[in-house]
Structure 1
Amino acid sequence: MSVPRFSLNSQTIKQWSLEELVSGCVAADVSAVGLWREPVQEYGLERAAKLVRDAGLSVTSLCRGGFFTATDPAERAAKLDDNRTAIEEAATLGTDTLVLVSGGIPQGGTVGDARSMVADALAELAPFAGEHGVRLAIEPLHPMFCSDRCVVSTLGQALDLAAPFPTEQVGVVVDTYHIWWDPQVREQIVRAGREGRIASFQVADWITPLPEGVLLGRGQLGDGAIEMRALREVTDEAGWAGRPIEVEIFNEALWSRDGSEVLRETLERFTEHVL
């Protein structure tokens, strides 16, 4: 039986190949997926697009673009070119959402410098994205990732960066794992809806103690501290009602298990803790 609004981000069952992901979703009556660039590139972009299209799956997002904070001019130009490629890949896959992780603080730089680089990169890329029917979705990451991965730490910062651009070109990602802790999270979700900026809604839980290598610390739904249903309700009230919700969990314990078993469990937890 189909679970409404459920989209499986491929990282949740990373042990599956792209073909296994597609066949596993079809078998479980899952109709939407979030994809990552590396497996798509390995399989072949056009082949991947045909694979998901022939299976009747919709692609809710492509991850990821970004990493804009290079100070070397040649490296920065290469990053921008790679993001243009990512935009074209998203369009080919049939998704209108490219998730952006902005990048950390460059060596010898400051967090302010890095955030200015992100704003400059958006100004260069937003029109190109719009021409391809793709929306750049700025994802704020938890502050523990600020130095090395993402200088955009709150939904408010992401919205401020998006503000100069048309809503169809630049939006934001509401990801429970990264923003649940923010005392302004509900107000900023409401703001995102009011400004027409919500481009993606993703869920994962926060578990403690964090495992070594916190990047892989996302928990199965219901295993941690996040009030996911409450945040889903706020996001729905802000205008996301009826739209897909991506489950994106980085967790080695899940990756070591049978993929079909993980998917069954995740669908159950999604129904219990998110819907």
Structure 2
Amino acid sequence: MSDLARFSINQMTVKQLSMPELVDACVELGVPGVGLWREPVQSYGLEETAKLIMDTGLTVTTLCRGGFFTAIDPQERSRALTDNRRAIEEAARLGTDTLVLVSGGLPPGSKDLHGARERIADALGELGPYAERHGVRLAIEPLHPMYAADRCVVSTLSQALDLAERFPAEQVGVAVDTYHIWWDDTAPAQIARAGATGRIHTFQLADWTTPLPKGVLDGRGQIGNGAIDMREWKGHVEAAGYTGPIEVELFNEELWARDGREVLAETTARFVEHVIR
């Protein structure tokens, strides 16, 4: 098996590349998979993106993102559900079976984490069957607790699985992202829990580097530059039965300021060095 057989580059890692540039660079470097984001797909065109991917033989490993289910206002919730149905349809058209969910933070003025999580469950109950009919699975991504207030009230794999397990695994599972869970000493057991019921829908890598930048959302470090043992986490998901793509998703201003093809080549080399060998 090639060292890159399971490698996927998330589009956000090299967001400076246009869609055709991204696809060309992947083909040139032998990268077999891409994780796409809805905004650049919509900008380039859904049908145009689907054709471009199909023509080059790349695999779309995930589409990001759906979610933001925590609004209290009925009209806001209705709009969110409509948008997520559209995201499911887009994922199906692009040929991926996984839509990654960022579940949403606390609504303005609210301090009710439990209520917010229950509204996520309500949304999953409506969207899960719709996703299954389209051949798409919903992957709840727990985000580091520093994002709980404004982006994602699901902070641990345990919380994500407590939600996912209310529904069939064919509808709802989890995204395992090293950047968000590496600090949690219960995460390996939760990965095993997820694997036992087939709920690891995607595995993503990013390193944790310090000092944190002013905008922590853009703080995901290049593989090998930070505190996370990537081989260890790969071992955890494989022990749980996961053999699917391994997607590198980096938010990093310094990387975005560089030549995108150079960043992709570097990331490919880092993947082989710090994950595979």
Q: Normalization by structure 1: what TM-score?
A: 0.98
Letter in 2 for 1:35: L
Letter in 1 for 2:44: Y
Task: Give me the whole-angstrom Cα distance separating, in 2, the residues matched to 1:38 and 1:271.
Answer: 29
Letter in 1 for 2:201: A
CA shift at 1:56, angstroms? 0.5
Deviations 1:77-120, CA, capped at 9 Å, x for gaps: 00000000000000000000000000000123211111111011
Letter in 2 for 1:174: V
| Alignment correspondent of 1:223 | 225
Q: Which one is further off, 218-227 or 109-118? A: 109-118
SS of match in other structure, 2:176: strand
| Alignment correspondent of 1:151 | 153
Equivalences for 1:1-275 in 2 at 5 Å?
Answer: 3-109=4-110, 110-241=112-243, 243-275=244-276
CA shift at 1:128, angstroms? 0.4
Does structure 1 retain, via aligned residues, the 8 Å contact 2:11–2:36? yes
Letter in 2 for 1:256: A
SS of match in other structure, 1:152: coil
Does structure 2 retain, via aligned residues, the 8 Å contact 1:26–1:55? yes
SS of match in other structure, 1:239: coil
Does structure 1 retain, via aligned residues, the 8 Å contact 2:139–2:175? yes
Any runs of at least 4 consecutive aligned residues in structure 1 with deviations exceeding 2 A, and if so which? Answer: none
Does structure 2 retain, via aligned residues, the 8 Å contact 1:66–1:102? yes
SS of match in other structure, 2:66: strand
Letter in 1 for 2:241: G
CA shift at 1:72, angstroms? 1.1
Task: Give me the whole-angstrom Cα distance separating, in 1, the residues matched to 2:39 and 2:117.
Answer: 26
Letter in 1 for 2:192: V
Alignment coverage as a number of residue pairs: 274
Deviations 1:184-204, CA, capped at 9 Å, x for gaps: 011011111012100000000
How well do the aligned residues superpose, as a CA RMSD in angstroms? 0.9
SS of match in other structure, 1:147: coil
Deviations 1:203-225, CA, capped at 9 Å, x for gaps: 00000110010000000000000
Gaps of 5+ in 2: none
Task: Give me the whole-angstrom Cα distance separating, in 1, the residues matched to 2:57 and 2:108.
Answer: 45
Letter in 2 for 1:148: D
CA 1:147 to 1:164, structure 2 compared with 1: closer, same or farther past 3 Å?
A: same
SS of match in other structure, 1:8: strand
CA shift at 1:4, angstroms? 2.4
Gaps of 5+ in 1: none
Does structure 2 retain, via aligned residues, the 8 Å contact 1:2–1:30? no
Q: Which one is further off, 259-268 or 93-102? A: 259-268
Task: Give me the whole-angstrom Cα distance separating, in 1, the residues matched to 2:3 and 2:174.
Answer: 27
Does structure 2 retain, via aligned residues, the 8 Å contact 1:7–1:247? yes
Q: Normalization by structure 2: what TM-score?
A: 0.97
Does structure 2 retain, via aligned residues, the 8 Å contact 1:65–1:99? yes
Does structure 1 retain, via aligned residues, the 8 Å contact 2:4–2:32? no
Sequence identity percentage = 66
CA shift at 1:2, angstroms? 6.1
Task: Give me the whole-angstrom Cα distance separating, in 2, the residues matched to 1:274 and 1:153.
Answer: 25
